[in-house]
A and B are shown apart, each in its own frame.
Chain A
């Protein structure tokens, strides 16, 4: 690929200083191979592993977020998820408490710990020399 083409391929990528933005709240330091929170720069662990293991987690009662629209005393279905079927799992940055992810899961369903696994070697090769 020519240099000009390479630049074109990378035009949509965002860098926070030296770190490559991966999602709204996550970036990767390609040199140190570490995940980071994009709001407070908290180190969230090895970029070759799951960032979620560095977060703190809370189980939400669904009606906290989805308030019943109709009276739960009168009706079986209320516009709020059934807590016997559905729970909300919130993941926060351990430093700034930004809500980085939310999962809706049946009670006790394994957490999706490895929801995002990137090929770090390929990423490093692609961004070698960036940001310019």
Chain B
């Protein structure tokens, strides 16, 4: 039996343990808590003192918002990383307790709800640590997603703001810097097999004092990545942008006093949470279920499930994701729970309540349930460099659920919307550029995702990424000045590339890339959905289709087209079907390509996805079909076989009577081929996943998870780690078996 310790003895032991922590890893108390901190005495007093001065508070809030926007513009103009230039960043103000209260209006909305963790870590562990401390002029940085943020390609920089010797707020900027010295160039290694393949791992770190970077630490950081110039430029631009927000904060304190500032920052959080709860109360109480499936780890095709229940009760929302796929311990497609919360939060910021301030209180009334050890709440040792590959499908699971509660809500500040396309379809590149520098980063084409259809109109083509309302795809000519890549076809809309419906999703573009004049160049692609669509329609609308990677290898198109320009084709469809380059190899693949060196003039081709459709295709206005036909965005097959519209393809005139008859015939055909639910379900439903499917996650029972086969399972509350074999070993084994069989035959 353990001896009960006397109070004095306990205190001594606890003091010893407190003083001798072996490793300050990510703090679960910080990482698992997305609620807003309880206000301290100064904040409470400030709010009380300013409670009747709403007009002035509103003015101060607008000035702070403008300061964040100004800082955002500075980083966008000064930053060297593609992510900085095209808006993959946020500038923000944290409260004196580290809660994110205000963020820039543009850029990466998901940062608004997951940037607070490193600030809280700094306040909890470094502020009173005699070897670190937090003082005027200190500069802190961080990039490890286990301490906050999405993945290690994002770097945050923050500085504390003092007044009368006390911290009144922290100001910060977070940018997708890209390159970070990981096992593949560009900072998002789909090939990472452990956390130690993910490159730079800054826990919250003091990198400077007196507003100057420490040269030794700066050199260490530069020495850790492939682009030392970019590392320096990124740090400098973020620092200057933070200093500008600090200046604006000090101006406000000078004009209104520190209490007014504290009351505004705290009040913004309190008001936002109260407003979200007020809005949720207008939603009907109930439960919505969805299932979403991902078809790849980026290394191999597997079928994994995201199971989702969204439960609305009074003024709170519960998102239950239990029963989803287990984590893959040697694959990059796992997410830290906090990162996924950020992604889900910006669903509400961008698609449900875009009129609310961008801050973490938006998510405070929403709680999450996950299985520890699942890919949505992964163990610390699991790599998470491609966390997007599970939290994007989780986003879609919630996005497809919300309309069923929002449609009958009393208050809405947006239209009902279907599912946005949800994959970062772009090229990550690495190699030696035309200036003889080694570079590695991501093309901003990922920002042109197809928009979803809405209850009142079609989705926009190639409009915005799922995580950011305002982000650009960049200017191809400017990009070609920096890297030897060129897009023979940069952004050409692909025909029929959207979810069909009463209102169709926006369409995505195809990209045909190659390179020249470099001694070494390679590509990566990080996208699911070559076998199973990743985004869906709602209320009877269809999903967009699937998106493979296509390659043309063994040819230098610059050579073969030098005197034969007629060989060029301007769509992936024509290149792959007509195979115009003699002697070349044409192939398709799932779109999880690990870094692969390519020869000059070979083609790599991908397609940005379209948005999900809304409503029954038979209700689509034929006039909208005619417009799509005129724009060259729809095929005759789709017009006739999907929409059942009869039109004159030359003049665009609609045969209304013919269309009415065709649609009536299709309705009769539907009833003739369909069966009553129970009869259909009895024949359709299987007790287990099919034998040939490498299936991960629950099937019918959310407490039992399949581990790649119908018969191998584990309890959801005691998940067994999944370790995948190297795809090359799998291929070698299959080839050996084939060889062995052939030898046997011989």
Contact = CB atoms under 8 A, between A and B. Distances in A.
A120 to B, nearest CB: 9
A70 B550 contact: yes
Given A13-B408, A53-B678, A58-B680, 10 more contacts: A24-B455, A24-B539, A70-B572, A70-B588, A77-B590, A92-B674, A108-B684, A111-B681, A116-B404, A122-B284
A62 to B, nearest CB: 9
B673 interface: yes
Interface in B390-438: 403-404, 407-412, 416
Interface of A: 8-14, 20-25, 52-59, 64-67, 69-71, 74-82, 84-86, 88-92, 94, 96-119, 122-123, 126
Given A106-B303, A115-B288, A77 B589 contact: yes
A57 B674 contact: yes
B548 A104 contact: no
Given A102-B537, A113-B681, A66 B689 contact: no
Contact of B573 (A25, A70, A119): A70
Size bracket of the B interface: 35 or more
Given A70-B572, A92-B674, A101 B539 contact: yes
Report the 4 A-B pairs with minimum CB-CB distance, sorted nearest first: A108-B686, A77-B548, A118-B286, A56-B674
B525 to A, nearest CB: 13
B530 interface: yes
Interface string B703-718: 0000000000000000
Nearest to B686: A108
B533 interface: yes
Given A24-B539, A57-B680, A92-B674, A119 B284 contact: yes
Contacts of B586: 74-75
Interface string B572-616: 110011000000001111100000000000000001000000111
A88 B667 CA distance: 18
A54 B677 CA distance: 7
A113 B532 CA distance: 21
B540 interface: yes
Overall SS of chain A's interface: loop
Given A12-B409, A86-B533, A94-B671, A80 B285 contact: no
A81 B409 contact: no
Interface string B669-712: 01101111110110011100110110100011000000000000
A102 B455 CA distance: 16
B677 A101 contact: no
Interface in B495-524: 496, 500, 502
- Tell which of A55, A70, A117, A119 has the most Cβ of chain B within 10 Å: A70
Contact of B671 (A8, A64, A82, A97): A97
A103 B541 CA distance: 10
Most chain B CB neighbours (cut-off 10 Å) among A9, A13, A23, A114: A23
B678 A99 contact: no
Nearest to A126: B284
Interface string B519-558: 0000000000011110011011111011111100000000
A106 B700 CA distance: 12
B237 to A, nearest CB: 40
B573 A12 contact: no
Given A102-B542, A119-B284, A10 B410 contact: yes
B668 interface: yes
Contacts of B239: none
B282 A10 contact: yes
Contacts of A82: 531-532, 546
B617 A99 contact: yes
Nearest to B613: A102
Interface string B632-654: 00010110011000000000000
B63 interface: no
Nearest to A50: B677
Contacts of A81: 531-533, 545-546
Interface stretch (B168-176, B289-297, B345-353, B734-742): B289-297
Given A104-B532, A110-B700, A21 B690 contact: no
A106 B576 contact: no
- Which residue, A58, A77, A78, has most C-beta atoms of chain B within 10 A? A77
A62 B416 CA distance: 26
A9 to B, nearest CB: 4
B262 interface: no
A65 B500 contact: yes
A87 to B, nearest CB: 9
B403 A85 contact: no
Interface string B252-281: 000000000000000000000000000001
Given A13-B410, A23-B407, A106-B293, A58 B675 contact: yes
Contacts of B677: 52-57, 91, 111, 113
Nearest to B288: A116
A8 to B, nearest CB: 8
Contacts of B332: none
8 contacts: A53-B678, A65-B542, A67-B635, A70-B588, A79-B546, A84-B692, A86-B533, A105-B291
A81 B699 CA distance: 20
A98 B410 contact: no
B674 A115 contact: no
Contact of A111 (B539, B607, B638, B684): B684
A52 B677 CA distance: 7
Contact of B533 (A57, A104, A108, A115): A104
B287 interface: yes
B570 to A, nearest CB: 14
Of A55, A57, A100, most B-chain CB atoms within 10 Å: A57
Contact of B615 (A9, A24, A76): A24
A24 B540 contact: yes
A111 B641 CA distance: 26
A80 B335 CA distance: 28
